[in-house]
Structure 1
Amino acid sequence: MPERLAEMLLDLWTPLIILWITLPPCIYMAPMNQSQVLMSGSPLELNSLGEEQRILNRSKRGWVWNQMFVLEEFSGPEPILVGRLHTDLDPGSKKIKYILSGDGAGTIFQINDVTGDIHAIKRLDREEKAEYTLTAQAVDWETSKPLEPPSEFIIKVQDINDNAPEFLNGPYHATVPEMSILGTSVTNVTATDADDPVYGNSAKLVYSILEGQPYFSIEPETAIIKTALPNMDREAKEEYLVVIQAKDMGGHSGGLSGTTTLTVTLTDVNDNPPKFAQSLYHFSVPEDVVLGTAIGRVKANDQDIGENAQSSYDIIDGDGTALFEITSDAQAQDGIIRLRKPLDFETKKSYTLKVEAANVHIDPRFSGRGPFKDTATVKIVVEDADEPPVFSSPTYLLEVHENAALNSVIGQVTARDPDITSSPIRFSIDRHTDLERQFNINADDGKITLATPLDRELSVWHNITIIATEIRNHSQISRVPVAIKVLDVNDNAPEFASEYEAFLCENGKPGQVIQTVSAMDKDEPKNGHYFLYSLLPEMVNNPNFTIKKNEDNSLSILAKHNGFNRQKQEVYLLPIVISDSGNPPLSSTSTLTIRVCGCSNDGVVQSCNVEAYVLPIGLSMGALIAILACIILLLVIVVLFVTLRRHKNEPLIIKDDEDVRENIIRYDDEGGGEEDTEAFDIATLQNPDGINGFLPHYRRGLLGGISQDAV
């Protein structure tokens, strides 16, 4: 270290000495005042009056006092001389005293108050403080009075190369894509040097790579790191350690240096195709496996990573493309083979598939290397399983007429055991679907028979479930739905759609429609209902009413004349025969009740009873109810009064002569037999107003004829 410092001092002072020796003498003629004494090295003489006196004198080489220099890090046995202060007022009589103040005065810099010599008494470091501002002054030694104004000057610490370069942000990490071309920029690094960058080459840095060649290079001045080899392969080596050096003094000998490390990671690109781990895969699966079940997995390995390693799988060929499918598992990066359709060991026992794995993300830079895909063969063996019976149809539809005889065969279901070792089948009905046990089935041949009568009008459809069970293995069962439709037969006669009651005005007109009626039939003929209406044969020539068939399958009843009188006959009964169009046709007779009513002139019915009481106008329904309630209350009071009165008059003890057992009357008369029944017309008693539109004849029996003069 002392040798190097001496060498540096020699390099520094040698040019200055040569310059001072060769400098030509000059004449200093500029006027100066006392304040300039410290700024010049030429003597300045003053007369006794203190006036300036211009002299011609040869200029001496001296210090420039407004700026002095001192080397940093200098340490010797004696303090280092920085410079000297001098004034021409000092004749050498030692009457002038030099005073130093400012940064470091007395602690770092010390002045000889007689000679004006300034020394550095401590070792200086430019990197801690580069310059010091001081003030110099000359005073009278005895009186301490200033001889001239203070003068400020600077002492600069001169730099030496005592600081090595440093990488403050190291160690470094960088990435570069694999397969990059030569000269691809990776990153740049920066070193700092605490030495003075404007003085000498102490802070001039040059960069170089100590370790990491021949893969990377660095530009000496900019420290930009680039790839030095093309097409570096991540799959061969992913990470590189580069040692970088920064050297000052422009890289010359004697300079200081610092190092750092750079870790370069090659990032992946899709430069490798997928590759199946094996060219042939074998899987086995039971024939009764559930649809969608994973049968096996195939995997194509890819040396790339991340999305560059993602592959999609497809079945591109084989005899099982319709039965199997393959899906991609993004997490495991393999293909899952699943079942799409049922298998049958008895039909086909093995399948061969050709599967393909292809990269999802293709890098066009490497497409010329060939297809980024691979293929493999998959063989799937179907294993036999004990399967349940199989019906000949997934559903059955049977039809039966509602008048079918009991135990008649409605239909038949069939089933078989699909296994090679076929087992006999036994059939049964799931009674939860036939709670009323309307059907039976032959356990051996599956024929369904009728157990109870059917009525389509009560239920058109019967849905039952048939069970087929293997005799050898009762756990193997199958079920099939059977829908039984009950077909209609003409077993219901038509009748009125509702209970009609017609009203006829006394002042009605001939041909006036009294009532329109329609019919209904519980049966459902294929071509729809068509009804025929007629009167009873003995009523065809009815003088009071006639009927008319309408296009909408309804019937209108018309009056033949006017002048009906409710006092003469209040009610008419008109029997109407209704026939359907079935085969064979069915018919029934429905009676229409026609009441004669009193009507207003515009045909509004007012009263249909001969003894009808017309309420006074203005009497409300509430008033009528109140009147009826009062009447009922009076009747209850009267009944209670009479009852209490009777109980009060009767004795509590019954006398012997009033014993009720003696009050028995015996009759020995016999009944009249048929003569009694001929005395009254029972039908007339049931309908005293007459039937069939005529007044009754009370002297005729139930089976007697109807008098025609009652019209």
Structure 2
Amino acid sequence: MELQLSFVPKGGGTVTLVGLPNSTNLQENQPAGFSVFTFSVKSTSSIPSGYPVIINSSPLTKAFRLLYNLPTTTVVLTGNPVLDFETTPNSFDLQIYVTDDTGATDLQILTVQLVNVNEPPVFLDNLANQAVELYITEGSPAGNIYQIQASDPEDLLNTLVYSLTPPSAPFVVSATGTISSSKVFDFETDPRSYSLVVQVTDPKGLSNNGSLIIHITNINDETPYFIGTTTTYSIPEGQAPGTIVATVTAVDPDADGFINTLLYRITTPTEYFTINQLTGVIQIAMAIDREANPFRLNPNITLEIQVQDSPSGGHSNKTLLTFTILDLNDNPPTCTQYAFSISVPETEALNTLIINLALYCNDIDVQSPYNLFNFTGLSGLGSNEKFQIIPPGSGNIVLIGDLNFEAPNNLAVGNEYSLKVAVQDIASPYYTTGTKIGQVYATDADFPFIGITFSIAAGGSTLGNTNIFWIDPNTGNIQLVNYADYETTPKYIFTVQATDPGSKFSTASVTLNILEANDEKPICVPNSYSLTVPVDQAVGTNIQDFKLTCTDRDSGPKSFRYFINSGNINNHFAFSPSSGSNITRLVFANPFDYSGGGDITWNYNLLVYITDDNLLAATPGVVGLVQTGTVSLSISVYVPGLTTLKTTTTPKNIYVTQTMNVYSATAWYIPFVITIGSLLLLGFLCLLLYLLAKYFPCKGSPKPDTEMLIPPGMYGFG
């Protein structure tokens, strides 16, 4: 291979910048990469020419650079800095130099003249590149809320015009760009936010827009108020502690936007009621005895209930509830004396009143018929033959038979008749005796033995109920006559006294153990609640972190079971765990299917049963019954992002109107007038029929003749 090299000495050629020198106009604020001017390079040398370069600029700037596509070269903008007529020089002289490999050179000038362009005004604050959000606290006085910062490069006086859209919003903007509110906002009644378009316009009509969002924030400035119209309640006496007798509910207009809690309390001094400060549930705290003072004379208890909002503000409201304590037949009749010794002459006349037992007995129940009783069951030697209760039930023991001691029909033993009479309520539960739970015995060495009277001298009461036990004064049988609560008093110790007719007495101590029974219902907090669930709720999610916490005075924490008894359409909801714990959570079990038609219900009202599983039933000596508590839950389904829930069916109202002819008791004359008019009309019709029959008699059909019309012999025939 043969390599041949040739060299061209320097100075052997020429190079020329074609198109230069020259000048060009450039509008201000053009972007980086914008083409300013194009020229080419021409060389007489066989060696390719070199690349042109900008060797200097007047004024000095890095705003220009060369883009090569030889033989063509383009002057473009670098964007650093952006050439602005108002802030940068208006004219530039670019010195462009080129050389080739032979050493030939060329140097030319390109003059760039910056041209002013009318531009719209610009925002100098955050409105320039984002939506500005402002917050106004409700109740704040009207006034300035924001100052717009804007400028027009072409207007040195900055005579800009500002405006707000929509103009109906309660905001105005001044000629200097100050935005002000024109009213005092109320979070509960006004819109919660306003979206405004801020526009700035220069004198030549060019404008620029920014976005302003104003939020109204809530403060605790409203007073909670009670809802519901029931203010009077009637409750039986003797209700066990924990019995729910009423529920008050209040709402707070400030609740929207707050994690707000209403707290309830009873401001009236009372030992008989308590209130759940979170739920407003009112319960019995101490059993109330209608027969005790002050309820014997005044059965009404008035409570003042206060509700107060939180966490701040301290706004409160009050309402009055009146409870009327109803009398029950909870006391047996009692007597001041149960044994009588009466001397009656054997010559006593018949129908003589021997004794009126009603003078010695009483029933402390307040109202009739609970405080009424009678005397029945007269028995013993001489009953109904010698003696009788007249009139029946009155307690009057009357002599009806001969008491002659020498008479053959004398029934007396040792000149004595022994009679027994039962004292009994006339209203249910017809107390004569209570449940027999034991018997005490006593003896008297005196002779003759006349009798011993038994009584309870001390003890045997609880929770203000004085007659838990009753002792038969004649037999010593101890009976339960009122409710015994194991959880309150598991053991009773009381003193029994035996007294003879001579007022000599002896005492004995009686200990009575109450067996536990599963008689307490589970109580859960909260016992009612309202929840919301999105339509796209994930299966297995704990809905709004809702949980139940349950207690039972006679069952352990692992004895609870949870059932949704009603309202769980398509089984969307469940409790986890469903048993074995006193704390459970509401979970979403099955997805909704509104689009496919599987679901049409948007509001679910769940009735939840909580049982205590009757675990005590397996304990020896313990009476077991399953007890059930209830909780009500209201669940609303919503579509996220929508303000209105849509249902798949169109609701409609059907009105049924029933019309009846009813006369007021004061309008007695209406049926009277109708009756008289009917009688007159009937008489007129009868008279008309009579006159028609008299003057227009009816002709019947002809009858056959029974006699000859012409007698024989007349006219010469015969």
The interval holding the TM-score normalised by the smaller chain is 0.3 to 0.5
TM-score (normalised: structure 1)? 0.34
Greater fraction of residues in helix: 1
Greater fraction of residues in strand: 2
